[in-house]
Amino acid sequence: MTTFAEIAPQLEGQAIEVPSWAYGNSGTRFKVFGTAGTPRTVEEKVADAAAVNRFTGLAPKVALHIPWDLVDDFAALRSYAEDLGVELGTINSNTFQDDDYKFGGLTHHDPAIRQKAIDHHLQCLEVMNATGSRDLKIWLADGSNYPGQADIRGRQDRLAESLQTIYAQLSGDQRLVLEYKFFEPAFYHTDVPDWGTALAHVQALGDNATVCLDTGHHAPGTNIEFIVAQLLRLGKLGAFDFNSRFYADDDLIVGAADPFQLFRILFEVIRGGGYGPGSEVAFMLDQCHNVEKKIPGQIRSVLNVQEMTARALLVDREALDQAQQAGDVLGAHEVFMDAFYTDVRADLAAWRESRGLPANPMRAYAESGHQERIEAERVGGTQVGWGA
């Protein structure tokens, strides 16, 4: 049995990028509930992300979303963030909120709209140059609602061409990370619905193009850890968007809906070389705190990833291997479950304290008065959400 002390060194340096939009209001098509203390500006979003990092030591980067996080001076934003102890991370593009994109962006049949969508991505690359971000993450809302509405095949060809144009403008070690999604907001067909499609496109682009796996973007019953293993094997897993879901793309707190699935995913990440100093796989959150508080929601999320990473590291891989080789189904399963069922929370608390972090970041945040402070300070103005 592997011990916590043995795996503790591997917890050093774990970093989970948090999304700026998690601190703004979000909801469903039925209602967006606002909450006191919600940021009104990009700076306040960054400040909230920095708070998450301060209490956990796990979130040194904040991902931005363009145009929601457009500012005049990204250098200034960068300094502002760095002063708060965090970096600006992945840049996310958005081609789903302009009226022109009703029938698609990078896939649109109209060359003018396609060019507009391409230009938006080139603008994102400029932002990246200013922020020092490595990754351009592309999630497409493109698709159609009715059979016959769109030329599924032709759109693939146009998408390939658009991506090629964008990819050609990457510089240095910048990467294009293509995200796939099973459904929503399009209902009948989605232009990048599965990892196979994302793979085909990034393979066509080249070495600096990889796939982003959002854990909530699969059909029911999909074995996600298999996809993790496969993409790592093929050298094309670029990033995770962590969250959890019961049915659709619920964007709930990672690990909340099916903790064992998160464990299995992290085990394959580790087993496949996707974790640790040598790996370039980005761990990110992509969540929406529709009914729960936002900063503590993010703290809980990064802690869930950390706790489950510890459990996955605890798997006695030698014993597992032996049981697998012996065809001992129950023995192998038990080795696996032993790690999952190990309660690492007390060990992690001590480990945090030894690093000058709060033993219990959730409680520390609650007792810090931070939430009350921002609720008191952030009065007036317009709370940010997906629209701004």
Asked whether position 40 contacts its own copies by CB under 8 A, the answer is: no
Interface mask toward its own copies for 293-332; x: CB under 8 A: x--xx--x-------------------xx-xxx-x-xx-x
State which of positions 183-222 bind its own copies (CB under 8 A).
Answer: 183-185, 187-190, 193-197, 199-200, 218-222
**Identity (one letter) of the amino acid at 383?**
Q
Q: Output the smallest distance, CB 326 to its own copies, in A.
A: 10
State which of positions 47-86 bind its own copies (CB under 8 A).
Answer: none
Strand-pair partners of 24: none
> Which span (63-71, 163-171, 285-293, 374-382) binds its own copies, by CB under 8 A?
285-293
Buried b (16+ CB within 10 A) or exposed e, 244-253: bbeeebbbbb
Q: Please, which residue, 173 or 343, has the CB nearer to its own copies? A: 343
Q: Which H helix or E strand runs over 190?
A: strand 189-190
State which of positions 235-264 bind its own copies (CB under 8 A).
Answer: 245-248, 250, 252-253, 256-261, 264
Among 129, 149, 354, 382, binds its own copies (CB under 8 A): 149
Q: Please, which residue, 129 or 222, has the CB nearer to its own copies? A: 222
Q: What is the rounded distance in angstroms from the CA atom of residue 241 to the CA atom of residue 249?
A: 12
Q: Output the smallest distance, CB 171 to its own copies, in A.
A: 29
Q: Output the smallest distance, CB 166 to its own copies, in A.
A: 20
Q: Please, which residue, 67 or 259, has the CB nearer to its own copies? A: 259
Q: What is the rounded distance in angstroms from the CA atom of residue 141 to the CA atom of residue 169?
A: 22
Q: How far is CA 64 from the centre of its chain?
A: 11
Among 43, 87, 126, 334, binds its own copies (CB under 8 A): 334
Among 73, 82, 83, 157, binds its own copies (CB under 8 A): 157
Asked whether position 162 contacts its own copies by CB under 8 A, the answer is: no
Asked whether position 370 contacts its own copies by CB under 8 A, the answer is: no
Bond prior to 147 in cis (omega within 30° of 0): no
Between the CA atoms of 183, 186, 187 and 189, what dihedral angle is there, to the nearest 10 degrees? Answer: -80
Local structure of residue 222 (DSSP, 8 states): -
Q: What is the rounded distance in angstroms from the CA atom of residue 99 to the CA atom of residue 152?
A: 21
Q: Please, which residue, 76 or 187, has the CB nearer to its own copies? A: 187
* CA dist list (Å): 143 to 14, 20, 99, 317, 328: 36, 26, 15, 43, 46
Asked whether position 36 contacts its own copies by CB under 8 A, the answer is: no
Q: What is the rounded distance in angstroms from the CA atom of residue 19 to the CA atom of residue 220?
A: 25
> Which span (38-46, 53-61, 84-92, 142-150) binds its own copies, by CB under 8 A?
142-150
Among 343, 355, 377, 379, binds its own copies (CB under 8 A): 343
Helix (H/G/I), strand (E/B), else coil: 60: coil
Burial class (CB within 10 angstroms; exposed 0-12, middle 13-18, buried 19+) of 386: middle
